[in-house]
Amino acid sequence: MRASSRHTKVSKAAFASIRRNAAMFLAVASLKAALRSSNLPLGGRPCLVVLIISHEQSVDIFKKAAELLLAGVRFSSRIRRGVHVHVLGPVSHGKGKAKEDSNLLALHGTSDTIIVIARSESDVPSSLAVVADAILDAPRPSSRHIRAARKLQGLPSLGDDVVGVLRRCAFSVLVPAICRGSVTAEDARRIERTSNTLISEVGPTLEELPGFDDVRPWAQLFLDDLQRWRQNEISWSDIDRGILLHGASGTGKTLFAQAFARSSRLPFVFASVSKWQSAGHLGDTLAAMRATFDFARSQQPAIVFLDELDSIGDRTKFHGDAVEYRSQIVNFLLECLDGAAGRQKIVTIGATNHPHAIDRAILRSGRIERQIELRLPGPKERADILAYHLGIEVDADVLGVANDLESWTGADLEMLARDARREARAIKRQVSIADVVASLPPLHELPHEATRRISIHEAGHAVVAHSINPLIRIALSMRRTYQKAEENPISYGSATYDGDELALPTREVLESLICRKFGGAAAEEVLLGGRSIGFAGWQGSDLETATRIAIQMVCSHGMGRNLSFYRTERSAAATDLARLPIDLRLEIAEILRVQYERALSIVKINREKIDGLASTLVAQQCLDHAMVAAVLAQHIDTSSR
């Protein structure tokens, strides 16, 4: 390199431009370190070099750095046809890009020196790789480069311990850190904690994973739109800005986001409110939030995954001394999501177990604008998930085992598969469904009394619903054996309805929904002498749902004694009942009492019908719409509507 140094000296004009920008200086330094090892472009010989930069580095910065560096180098007289810098893959989307990618090799005849920038070697076509003079990795800036960047900015030097930590930081946060007036060792460590946010590209794609039936349709539409954008058929403004995934623990919100990122081939930036807050005081927290989105902007298009988003809170529910602190965090997140600083190509995926605890402004259109619930997997999904983690095909035996695993999450099934593989390793053979059975906790069977109560409960729902609306279609199911999961409540029976959806429900319709929810408990009380805890006790239970509907009627829909508006429909959670004014609580309680009395009246008139339907359900365990209708048709409906 020294022998040809007279041909590689950067011009004064180019260096003056480079030194003014710390990011450009570091990118140029990294490029020179990579190119120096090949002795090709800066050595004065025509060549084609592929430069691999990591996801933590900015493609735009490195492209500009390469153009500026090579344009400012005094090459030997043999190079007369210029330098061409090309970004390979999905990170550059100018007009005619697809044509340029396909004809890249032809450019070798028009430019003596070609620099191709790619994210990974897997993005480099084999036809290009075999003719490239070198495929080089762009190294992180060295300690010497960091000190030189500080000196060029007229800032005091940093200690070895500080520089050592900064060297490990992502490029996007390294640059602003270098430009700070002072950086302590603790500052550097906080910056490092916020910078390493990209997940590994190793892992399953969404196409390889089973389950996720609730969110897969949205994901496929997004991936289709992303492909259209890459082909310049649509603009980025046609693509969704964000989505909130909510559901019980273990339903795979983080797993989905990671697999989705791999399928989309977009950088995946992980963050959480707790991680931001761990940076220190309020200023550090806001700086960590800014660093996350700055990092994502440097990678855009990119995906930002915000875990435990409910920790951000809801400004309408803040109280006490921390109101100002928490409000500033929410406001700053809104600023980051709005795109004023360049979020135009960032997709945000939020995850939470408690969607009602999130500030509504965060979830409005243009921010995290769609909400999808990841429910517990059904029997077929459970079989697919179990077979995937076992590495076997789905057959009748797998389906049979999965059918008894109601309320098991994807995480539960993955753990079960690990236990089964351990069983198989112990006896040195391939895993089979027999190992799953051996790994399962004991199979529980409901006693006769509980079976009878569950069947009457579900039949009560059906009869009350049919009495209110004879045109509704009802399906019932129950189970007598089950495998108990650790955290999620067991659903021993269920009633599903079809044909009663209304776009603009009236007060009468909402009251009937509450009455229908109370049908099961009312049937237990009338036919068995008292109701059990099966209709209450958890989110989504009959009582919780009925209470939430009543709160929405009074506080959101103007269906109470006055027309006051207290909260949006989505924020009207049953758990907030205790915080409402006493007059509203009494009115809500009265709505629930009246509808429970109504359900009791319907049940008392139709005892025979409920008893017959319950007996049929115990015998069959699953009744579709037609079977329920046939049983109900055997009795005359004598209830009053």
What is the rounded distance in angstroms from the CA atom of residue 382 to the CA atom of residue 474? Answer: 24
Residue 599: alpha-carbon gap to chain centroid: 40
Can you tell me the distance from the alpha carbon of 281 to that of 325, in angstroms, rounded to the nearest whole number? 10
Of the candidates 245, 242, 333, which has an alpha carbon nearest to the alpha carbon of residue 286? 333
Q: What is the pLDDT of residues 625-634, one digit of tens each?
A: 899 999 998 8
- Output the pLDDT for position 512: 94
Q: Which residues in 286-324 are b (16+ Cβ under 10 Å) and which e? A: bbbbbbbbbbbbbbbbbbbbbbbbbbbbbbeeeeeeeee
pLDDT at residue 101 tops 60: no
Residue pair 31/69 in contact (Cβ under 8 Å)? The answer is yes
| pLDDT at residue 205 tops 90 | no
Grade residue 30 by pLDDT with cuts at 50, 70 and 90: confident
Q: What is the mean pLDDT of residues 598-624?
A: 92
Q: Which residue has the higher pLDDT, 96 or 42?
A: 42
Residue type, 599: A
Neighbours of 412 (CB within 10 A): 22
**Which residues lie closer than 8 Å to 238 by C-beta, 6 or more apart?**
225, 229
Mean pLDDT for 435-457 is 86
Whether the predicted pLDDT of 230 surpasses 60: yes
Structure-block tokens of residue 157: 């030097």
Of 152 and 169, the one with more pLDDT: 152
> Smallest Cα–Cα separation from 304: which of 277, 342, 247, 331?
342
Q: Whole-angstrom Cα distance, residue 357 to residue 273?
A: 14
Between 424 and 442, residue with greater pLDDT: 424
The token duo for 630 is 């046939």
Buried-exposed string 167-176: b where 16+ CB fall within 10 A, e elsewhere: bebbbbbbbe
Max mean pLDDT among 335-349, 422-436, 476-490 falls in 422-436
AA identity, residue 580: L
Number of Cα atoms under 13 Å in the Cβ half of residue 470? 10
So what's the pLDDT on residue 13? 60
What is the structure's pLDDT at 10?
55
Distances (CA, A) of 140 to 35, 51, 316, 438, 489: 13, 13, 45, 51, 50
The yes-or-no verdict on residue 75 having pLDDT over 50 is no
Residue 604, pLDDT score: 95
Q: Taking a C-beta distance cutoff of 8 angstroms, is the pair 210, 385 a contact?
A: yes
Mean pLDDT of 441-448: 79
Contacts of 144 (CB under 8 A, 6+ apart): none
With tokens 């076997």, the residue in question is 392
In this structure, the number of other CB atoms found within 10 A of the CB of residue 74 comes to 12
